[in-house]
Each structure stands twice: as C-alpha cells, then as structure tokens.
Amino acid sequence: MVDSGQLTPDSLVWTEGMADWQPLSAVGAGGAPEGVAAEQQAHLNVQRAREGVAGAGLHNVEYGGFWIRFAGYLIDYVIVTVAMLVLILPLSVLGAFSGSEAAELGIAILTQLIALAGVICYNGIMIGRYGWTLGKRAVGLRVICPDGSPVSMGRAFGRAAAEILSGMICGIGYIIAAFDEEKRTLHDHIATTRVIRDQ
C-alpha cells in the first residue's frame, strides 16, 4: 500500500502490539514499533522459508552458532552410527570368519563405502525433504537457502557430500562456523546454505 501510494507518511496505522493508531511515519516500515516489527519480520522470514516462499530474505533471523550446531551434530552422529552398525556388523563378522585376507580387505572397504553413503543419504534426504536432520530438529535448527527458501534435494545432497570434506580436513570445515559472520561451515559455503534458529 505504501508502494502504490495508498498510504502516506501521515496515514494512521495500527497492528497488534501497538497501544493506539499512529502515523505511518512514527512506526517502522512493517507498521509496528521498531522492536515489534523486527520480531514479526523474523517470524515471517522463518514461516516463509517453511512454506517454500523464495525471496523471503534473511533479515532479522538468528543464525545457528557453533555450539548449538555441534550439539545437533552429536545427536545425528549417534543416530547414524547406530543405524550403520546394524548394517555393517554382519559384514564385519562375515569378514572375520572368511579366512581370506582379500575377503577381509574387500569387506572392510565395502563397510566404509556403506558408512559414507549412509551419512550422505541421511543428511541429503532429511535436509532436502524437511530442511533439518533429527539432530538439528532436536536443537531447533533449520537449513535454508540464502534467500530464505527451502533447500532443494540436489543442493541437500551436494551439501551432505561437502560435509564429508569439512570433516576430512581435521574438522576445520566445521570450526570456521565459530568465526563466520553468518555461522557458516565449509559445506555451507560450498552449497551456499545457511543454518538458522527455527523460531
């Protein structure tokens, strides 16, 4: 309405959180006192991201910091480890009783590949479908694109593969989140994603 000229700086406006009608010039662009407008905008950005609205923007959102992301990662690590043990343990037992060094080596390589694929599939599918893994959900985090829209399945799998790289370089890919203005890890930089508090 402001853009179309229907509202002028002298127009009286009101929204929840305001005691009385006030001139538009006296309140924020969102039609509410500055503190209220900022809080409403933060909730609106997250809601738009949930609903898949591109261009929602990331104004007034709170990025997931290093320690809360670490807590989410630990939860995911336990979940994936337990799931992989169920799949890999029978193969390991088979390799131990095979009596052949070549068979043991082959099974060892196979178990590593299964574990790697399992981690990538878990992260890729969960983030591509829901915007979070179980660990991130537990600590109240969500992965989104820079414009606030949900992460596509392709980008989610790319991010999951890039996360392997973050761990391979002595965890430095994770640690940089502690020093990044938007709390991005190496895999967030590669996939151009952001991790925010899911309000």
- Does 95 map to a domain? yes
Phi and psi at residue 21, to the nearest 5°: -65, 140
Residues 6+ apart with CB under 8 A from 88: 111, 114, 115
- Does 127 map to a domain? yes
Q: What is the pTM of this model?
A: 0.67
What the block records as the tokens of 88 is 């890999």
What the block records as the tokens of 184 is 């991005």
Q: What mean pLDDT is predicted for residues 137-160?
A: 94
Total structural domains in the chain?
Answer: 1
7-62 tens-digit pLDDT? 777 788 887 777 788 887 776 554 444 444 555 555 555 555 554 444 445 566 89
88-133 tens-digit pLDDT? 888 777 777 777 778 778 888 888 899 999 999 999 999 999 999 9
- Does 170 map to a domain? yes
Please report which confidence band the pLDDT of residue 151 belongs to, taking 50, 70 and 90 as the band edges.
very high
- Does 33 map to a domain? no
Phi and psi at residue 198, to the nearest 5°: -85, 90
By three-state DSSP, how is residue 22 classified?
strand
- Does 48 map to a domain? no
- Give start and end residues of each alpha helix (H) in 11-52: 34-51
d(CA 143, CA 95): 39
- The pLDDT of residue 7 is 75
Count of alpha carbons within 13 angstroms of residue 58, beta-carbon side: 19
d(CA 44, CA 154): 26
| Parent domain of 71 | 66-197
